[in-house]
Amino acid sequence: MRVLDIMSKPVVTVTQETPAKQAAGLLAAHGFTALPVVDDDERLVGIVTEADLMADRIPRDARFSRLDACERHPGATVAEVMTTPATAMGPGTELAVLARALLEARIRAMPIVDGARVVGIVTRGDIVRTFARGDADIAADVRHHLAIYGGADRWHVQVRDGIVDIADEFDDGTDRHVATLLAQSVPGVVRAHAMAAHQSGNS
């Protein structure tokens, strides 16, 4: 499965001139964890996250803290708080590669770019929702893809816990290979296997 199969698009973005308060409002209103920061040509220049916006944002209780002349003040614009440069990946990236990158970098969202232009975003939540898809929904999508490729009556599809078994009425190894790849591209599929119908016991 590739990133383009699950990425969110179009993407809500901000610019470096966007007020930090407005960026926080966008995160809160949409339930996002991060916003890509773009220039006038929609090219990625950074990312602003919940953590970026929280830093130095909550004032200390003056009754219990002394005035510190060196205390940092929160940034007023996205340019002052964003993380730059931002890590990004292309839409053709394998989802497993992106998921590993999110975990290893301990980040919650990955901008998706075509060249430098932002075309989507994937969050940890997007990946979890993909894995949580029900077997009936997965089976319906797999059958739809296979019907387009080889006809609706040719394939028998069973899905259990995201594992897809495909039985082919014809005995064509190349077609079964393509069917497996098509099934693996469906969001929520853990793995897929295709075999000839006579091998599976289907008629």
Start and end residues for every CATH 3.10.580.10 domain found in the chain: 3-60+74-131
Domain 3-60+74-131 part of CATH 3.20.20.70: no
This prediction's pTM: 0.72
pLDDT values of the chain reduced to their tens digit, one per residue, 203 residues: 789 989 999 999 999 999 999 999 999 999 999 999 999 999 999 999 999 998 765 656 555 555 554 455 567 999 999 999 999 999 999 998 999 999 999 999 999 999 999 999 999 999 999 889 999 999 999 999 999 998 888 999 999 999 999 999 888 899 999 999 999 989 889 899 999 887 765 44
Start and end residues for every CATH 3.30.70.2210 domain found in the chain: 135-200
CATH no. of 135-200: 3.30.70.2210
**β-sheet bridge partners, residue 63:** none
